[in-house]
Chain A
Amino acid sequence: MTPTPSDRDRLLDRDGPEPQARSAAHPSAVQGILLIVRRELGHYFRTRSGYLIASLILALYALLYNVFAVGSTPKYSNDILSAFFYFASGITIVASLLISMRLLAEDRQNGALALLATSPLSDGQVVLAKYLSGLAFLFIITALTVYMPLLVFVRGKVSLGHLFAGYLGVGLLGAATMAIGLFGSSIANSQIVAVIIGGVITVTMLMLWMTSRIVDGPLGEVIAQLALHDRHFRPFMDGTIQLSSIVFYLSVTGFFLLLSRNVLEGRRWRA
């Protein structure tokens, strides 16, 4: 008589605990990811440094908004809003690199990455959890700035659609830069090296628009399409939602997340 699959499992002692007990012992992938996200966010909001960073970034936002976007000469509401999102993009890029530098590199420095490697989560899930935690912190800070463009309502005319488009652009740019920063953090052993690697890739991708101007033909066009800010962010800044730019930012994000996962997996094999 041929044993059934369950008989085989029992014979090989593979049945393990009851489903309920198993789920308590090994949380599902989503639960595991949320656990890490919560822990990481807690790191920001349970320490003084998290609030200090948030308020410093907000102050910087407000300073640039008042000095450059609003300025001292009469300006159209649209121009103020465009300038606000222009400066917001710069701050977002820097902030996301700074936030992402510690995501994996810090764990590697203090040995927590080895602990994570023994967790039931896959490398991809660890990368995703770390990424989402950094992104959530960035989005919370960005969301706190909403009172600045809303102030334009008081004396000017602003379309809510422009606000939405601008924040969508800032969010997508932040998501892409955060993924680049996470990749830097995945290959570096220290946070400083991580931010340098992330910074070099980001600056290179930012400067591609200049390179595209000196390269003729289809190659120049391809290079221009790869530029992180110029062709893809400016439409959002001016209140236009452009499908190709959304797809581009999601592609950059996906590519660097996959790269980070591969690096993490590769390092585990090497270890």
Chain B
Amino acid sequence: MTNASSQTRQRIHRLWPHGAVLLGLAVLFIGERLAGSEPNLVTLGLGSTFLLAAVLARATELQAAPRELRPVLRRLLSATLGVFLAIGVYALIRFAFPGDSPAFERIRGALWVLMPIVLTVSILPLVAIEAATMPVAYNVRYEEARILRAYHRGLGLALFLSSLFVGNYIVATNDEKVDLAYGNQASASEATRLAVQEVTQPVKVVLFWPRANEVADRVLRYFEPLAKSNPHLTIERVDQALASELAQKAGVSENGYIAVLRENSKEKVRIGTDADSARSNLRHLDKSFLDALIKVSSSDKVVYFTVGHGERTWTIDNKEDVRPPIKLLKRQLEAWQYKVKTLGVGEGLATELPKDAGLIFIMGPEKPFLAPEIETLNKAISAGARVVIALEAERDGDGLEGLLTGLGLRFDKTILANETKNAPLTRTPVDNTYIWSNKYSSHASVTSLTRNDRLVTLLFKSGALVETKPNPALPGIKTDVVIRAMDGTFADLNGNFVFDAATEKKESWPLAVAVTKTPATSTKVKGADPKKDEGRVFVLADVDAFSDDLLQVSQGNSYLLRDIVLWLQVNDEPVVPTVADADKKIEHRRADDAYLFYGTTFGIPALILIAGLATVERRRRRS
């Protein structure tokens, strides 16, 4: 009898509106996944109908219910209505604010945040009420206190979840990272960040990786902050197999590559798809990307090397010329996509410099420059030219005196020597003139060397630069000594390679000077960037620093070259390339490895176990 009555008894509230809510949400979800970016009216209409039916069912149920059931039924109605409202917000996102206008994008962004919050705040209380009702669903009355408490717990949880969602969203969009690893490999170096900020034309970085690849994730983590820092840099991740046209354009035939594209220039960096094999390439990711970026952004720039004054060149025409050539320097500049040309009187050195002159190198001239040539160079520097002057102390001739005077400098050709801080190449006293230095200033043109002062710059038989009063005819000149000789360096006046206390003096002689010339006119123009128009000259006391002999043996000299080129090329400070290889590989020694293996795997855990057991035993005895 009792069984029969319980079988015929009605459920305290209807179950099917819950089913309608679920069905409506499922239809909308399927529609969203199938439609992609296009709004799907059919599924939205169908889903909304299901939800509307659920709302109406709850409303009629509430109207017909006796008074004691109403508090719970009212909450069921409000929660169901909440789900319907969430779908209304979704409809607004899809239909009311189409297009790419920034205002609509902002509204859509806000609604995308609002929609899941409304949905969560409605669904969770609904689930909580149903979970609390289910064991006593066929009673005549609700256990009101218990069900309302469950409702409030559900609502509280939903609000907590919503606040977590909003909090995580805000933090994720304004994320902060601190890279504490040795060599800062996981994120871009300051040099790369600044180089990216300097990009003024669209540069596209395409990452060719298959889906679900951990190497790709790491590469993406590296690029995401860079893309945020400059809208001209865009990042796209594609599967090479699925983006054949783009792969062909980038010249990429398999996955595991980064392609850097700008107009018709392209560069690619191979990383790999397998985590273990890609590890080594990832270590140099920052350097490789920076090189690629320099290449694509300087592909239309030209470097001019002055000729006609006995300068160093990359070809040795005269067999009697024993000076080391600068073949590696040329090759490196070409690797950075510079076109290398010569600049003589025929090309306008005595009248007007070529318009495409990105950089001008004056490499150890032995014969004097003509007055019109000096005048042209001075004019060019005033107009914002970027020049490298490397001097020669060993040879006669004072070819650049006029130019240096204009920059507030004088070149003292007395050979510098140091009895302790030198490169022992011949094991004779002449080694004292093969000096090195790691006394760098904090100037932008040598910042990477400042940060990594274990890298030394080698100089062979260098002279010294002396700062003089700038020429009043050239206002706006600013000189910074960026490399000084090590303590104990002396000007070897008598040429005997050893220090003579009576006549010679030990000093930190200036070896390299960075000169900037601020144009007088640009500062007056409102909104003009004086840095973009300023002339920059880097003066080095020894041309040998960039000769093949030293560039191939001294890492410090290579870094100096890159620092200088970046400083001359970009319009900001400071430049800090990474030195990822500062970390060193750990070599294995059989005997040590055995000790370490057994000691760590068995020794220490065994010690802890023995100590623990002894403590437990002692405690047991005491008690």
| A residues adjacent to B (C-beta < 8 A) | 45-48, 50-52, 54-56, 58-59, 62-63, 65-66, 70, 72-80, 144, 147-148, 151-152, 155-159, 161-162, 164-165, 209-210, 213-214, 216-219, 225, 230-231, 234-235, 238-244, 247-248, 251, 254-255, 258-259, 262, 265-266, 269-270
Contact = CB atoms under 8 A, between A and B. Distances in A.
A70 B602 CA distance: 16
A243 B608 contact: no
A209 to B, nearest CB: 7
B279 interface: yes
B381 to A, nearest CB: 43
B217 A234 contact: yes
B604 A62 contact: yes
Nearest to B37: A217
B47 to A, nearest CB: 16
Contacts, number: 181
Contacts of B157: 258-259, 262
A151 B608 CA distance: 18
B186 A240 contact: yes
Q: What are the 10 A-B residue pairs with the smallest beta carbon separation, nearest first?
A: A161-B180, A51-B612, A239-B181, A55-B609, A55-B605, A213-B211, A59-B605, A213-B212, A62-B600, A74-B585
Contacts of B211: 213-214
A232 B612 CA distance: 35
Given A51-B613, A72-B588, A213-B211, A240 B181 contact: yes
Given A58-B605, A78-B583, A240 B179 contact: yes
A75 B283 CA distance: 12
Contact of A265 (B153, B586, B601, B604): B153
Interface string B594-605: 001100111011
A76 B586 contact: yes
Contacts of B600: 62, 65-66, 147-148, 151
A241 B177 contact: yes
Interface residues of B, number: 64
Query: Which of B146, B218, B597 has the most C-beta atoms of chain A within 10 angstroms of its own C-beta?
Result: B597
B161 A255 contact: yes
B608 A144 contact: yes
Contacts of A66: 596-597, 600-601
B605 A157 contact: no
Contacts of A218: 112
Interface in B142-180: 146, 149-150, 153, 156-157, 160-161, 164, 167-168, 171-172, 175-180
B182 A258 contact: no
Interface of B is mostly: helix
9 contacts: A66-B600, A75-B585, A78-B185, A155-B587, A165-B178, A217-B37, A230-B214, A230-B217, A255-B160
A46 B615 CA distance: 8
A46 B176 CA distance: 43
Contact of A147 (B153, B177, B604): B604
Contacts of A76: 283, 583-586
A209 B212 contact: yes
B612 A48 contact: yes
A235 B186 contact: yes
Given A48-B613, A164-B180, A242-B177, A54 B586 contact: no
Contacts of B613: 48, 51
Given A59-B601, A65-B600, A156-B586, A78 B217 contact: no
